[in-house]
Chains A and B, each alone.
Chain A
Amino acid sequence: MGSYHLGRHLKILEFALSSMLRRRTKNLGLVLVFAALVFLLSSIVFLTGALRTEALATLEASPQLLVQRAMAGRHALIPLGYGELIARLPGVGSVTPRYWGYYYDIYTGANYTLLGIGDQGLESPGSTPLRLVEGSFIMPGQRRVCLIGEGVAEVRGTRIGGMVSLRDARGWMQEYEVIGLFASPSRLLTNDLILLPEADLKAHFGMPDDRATDLMVEVYNPHEVDNISRKILERLPDARPISHAEIQRTYETLFNWRGGLLLAMFLGAMAAFMILAWDKATGLSADERREIGILKAIGWETSDILELKLWEGAALALVAFLAGVTAGYAHVQRFGAELLMPVLEGWSTLFPAIDLAPRIDPYALGVLFSLTVVPYIVATVVPSWKAAITDPDRVMRAS
């Protein structure tokens, strides 16, 4: 009994496909519009997913707890004395000051991140897993050298052995020799980065000797981070402890929100498409009516015609969905999501070209399916049924 039923369904599916192929032009328009819509929505979903993964990968390496100082509600340089106080709290490992800042380059119109590297080098706790593509690290005591990210190298047109000149706080041009180029698991991290010896960086920004940009605090037990933050706030009311988990939550919310907002905007287009699909499915041509009439006359039942119509709808939706998702995937993976990047990314003027690991997320596909195919199928139920109950007698007479 089972194989008979299956065979019947397959035959109806076969008929549906062949009849769609016969009416190629009518369906092509609908498939194109649908695929374009799926392409748009899938680009948004894939891109936000990819950006989120990138940002979180960057964060993996960040320290458990960062302490900044806030003055008048703004970020201010933190006295090194704070670090000594924090280091005395039980449960705190090492406290490492970080020296960094932003630099606006008037020649290229880009913002660079300048990071100072002390004598402990990159092995200090919580340091980021930076990888050099080529060149060497800054040696202790070395001055007037720098390591740069790929983005900086590109806009400045320099490689190893070249020079990078930066205007310091006094307005003097300072030259630094490039001794290394960065690659990182996440290019968001190093793309706009220039790494300088700590002393050079402090001189460049004109930082006082007893101040740092912020403090990296190592906490032995990750569950204690919130407690340590509270203790720091009690002792140093103007400190601003930022925990790893907090940053992570902010990123999550940010990307969810950006993606969700864009999606919500395009859902209006989806609603318009539902109406189009409804209309298309309702307006049967005389030819189609006659075909249904003939099918019924040769013994097809209403349920068979209904199944035929549903198969047609499903096939169309599936083709459009697959085409749209494939195009969206290619858009994000191969072409760096050129159409959407400006809206979704954006915190630096120097955009990294993201190489996202190819990854197909069944959840994202499920969500996309429920945002596109489900409304389409729902919109075509009633028209399909209306077509299926066509009275053969009346149709044949009319033609």
Chain B
Amino acid sequence: MILHPGILGLLITAVLVLGLVLYGAYLGAIVLVRWDLDSSSEEQLALERKTYLLSTLMGHAMALEILSALIFLYTLEDIHAIFVGAMCATGTLNANPVGWWVLGAKILGLLFCAVWIVLNRIDQRAEDYPLTRLKYGLLLLLAPLLALETWLLFRFFLGLDPSVITSCCGTLFSGSGAGVGAEIAGLPAFPLMIAFFGGTAVYLAAGTLNLRQARPRLRYLLAGLSLWMLGISLASIIAFISSYHYELPTHHCPFCILQADYHYIGYPMYLTLFAATFYGLMVGIAEPLRRVASVEGVIAAAQPRWTRLSMLLFGLFVVIAAWPMVFSDFTLEGYY
């Protein structure tokens, strides 16, 4: 274990978030069993009051998840210097491979929390709490996910041993190595560029079409496309976007862009990408809920807003990503 202020902060925050969510899930379970909107008993009144507490708990948990995700990334960056062979966050993650699982669990947990918060807000707009059961059912799924994340986080940080010789991003994301990272880094840049920029055009077109015509199928299409574009974008970051930011054709690391040397450009890049994906997904996730009469109006009003937000954020992401491709002297042309 490495006693580092950032690690202490992360572990404490993780325990607090888990506490909030477990307590929320406990309250949620009670609500699930006892909820009866037609009853006017004292118990039902108490349950309705508890929903306020639950929303607050989850709101806090969400805010803390975002904060700790950023601190997690930066801490990975910050402590790489103590590992032999590490040059960025990749090295830290490789020093104890559980870290990759933590990263995955964090992204999933964050997405899950965000979806929950939005469902909760939709629910609160309606008179008759129509989504209560769905919400609290989801909460019972979220709690184990966060428990897993916390457990992994502890295993990761407690298992970090400075004497382990780790490998840097140059090994993992090299165009000629083995493994998933290397496979992606070695993807031919030119076809992927076409997929990336073509995909962007398709995505923006699908968004515009969504705003013009209110058809359920289009909304599902947008949600699917947003997931697809997330995959393409991540692959593109590794295969060519990062290389443009580093101005080095052999450097493919998706983490070094988070460093001060590259003006922390990775943070706005990943934030806009994930936020765009989230809003795109929400358009599709909320679609089946429109069958519930009392929230139909709320969702119908929200969907165009989400669509616009998603398009805007994705556009921003592409601008940040493509900036050096357009405005720097560096070119990958010889490497197509």
B-binding residues in A (CB < 8 A): 44-45, 48, 245, 248-249, 252-253, 256-257, 259-261, 263-264, 267, 302-303, 306, 310, 363-364, 366-371, 374-375, 377-378, 381-382, 384-385, 388-389
Contact = CB atoms under 8 A, between A and B. Distances in A.
Contacts of B4: 256, 259-260
Interface of B: 2-10, 12-13, 16, 19-20, 49, 52-53, 56-57, 60, 64, 67-68, 70-71, 74, 78-79, 81-84, 162
Contact of A256 (B20, B52, B53, B82): B82
Contacts of A371: 5, 8-9, 12
Contact of B82 (A249, A259, A364, A378): A249
B67 A370 contact: yes
Nearest to A259: B5
A212 B68 CA distance: 51
A382 to B, nearest CB: 7
Contact of A253 (B2, B12, B71): B2
A306 B56 CA distance: 9
Given A264-B8, A302-B49, A381 B3 contact: no
A351 B250 CA distance: 46
A375 B16 contact: yes
Contact of A257 (B3, B10, B20, B64): B3
Given A370-B10, A370-B71, A374-B64, A385 B5 contact: no
30 contacts: A249-B81, A249-B83, A249-B84, A249-B162, A253-B2, A253-B82, A253-B162, A256-B4, A256-B5, A260-B2, A260-B8, A261-B3, A263-B5, A263-B8, A264-B3, A364-B5, A366-B67, A367-B5, A367-B9, A369-B67, A370-B9, A370-B10, A370-B13, A370-B71, A374-B13, A374-B67, A375-B12, A381-B60, A384-B56, A385-B56
User: At the interface, is chain A mostly helix, strand, loop or mixed?
Assistant: helix
Given A260-B8, A264-B3, A389-B52, 17 more contacts: A256-B4, A256-B79, A256-B82, A260-B5, A267-B8, A306-B56, A310-B56, A363-B74, A367-B5, A367-B6, A370-B9, A371-B9, A375-B12, A381-B20, A385-B52, A385-B56, A389-B49
Contact of B52 (A252, A263, A303, A378): A303
B6 A381 contact: no
Contacts of A368: 9
Contacts of B19: 378
Nearest to A367: B9
Contacts of A310: 56
A48 B5 contact: yes
A384 B19 CA distance: 17
A242 B82 CA distance: 15
Contacts of B7: 260
A249 B9 CA distance: 22
Contacts of B84: 245, 249
Nearest to A257: B3
Contacts of B49: 302, 389
B8 A256 contact: no
B6 A363 contact: yes
Q: Which residue among B64, B81, B162 has the maximum number of chain A CB atoms within 10 Å of its CB?
A: B81
A237 B227 CA distance: 58
Contact of A363 (B56, B60, B71, B162): B71
Contacts of B3: 256-257, 259-261, 263-264
A247 to B, nearest CB: 12
A248 B83 CA distance: 10
A253 B84 CA distance: 12
Contacts of A48: 5
Contacts of A260: 2-5, 7-8
A44 B13 CA distance: 19
A248 B81 contact: yes
A154 B2 CA distance: 38
A381 B82 contact: no
Nearest to B84: A249
B71 A378 contact: no
A267 B7 CA distance: 13
B53 A382 contact: yes
Q: Which residue among B9, B60, B68, B162 has the maximum number of chain A CB atoms within 10 Å of its CB?
A: B9
Nearest to A253: B82
B235 to A, nearest CB: 29
Contacts of A248: 81
A369 B78 CA distance: 17
B266 to A, nearest CB: 14
Contacts of B67: 366, 369-370, 374
Nearest to A44: B5
A261 B2 CA distance: 10
A385 B48 CA distance: 12
Contacts of B56: 306, 310, 381, 384-385
Contacts of A303: 52
Contacts of A389: 49, 52
Given A260-B2, A302-B52, A303-B52, A366 B71 contact: yes
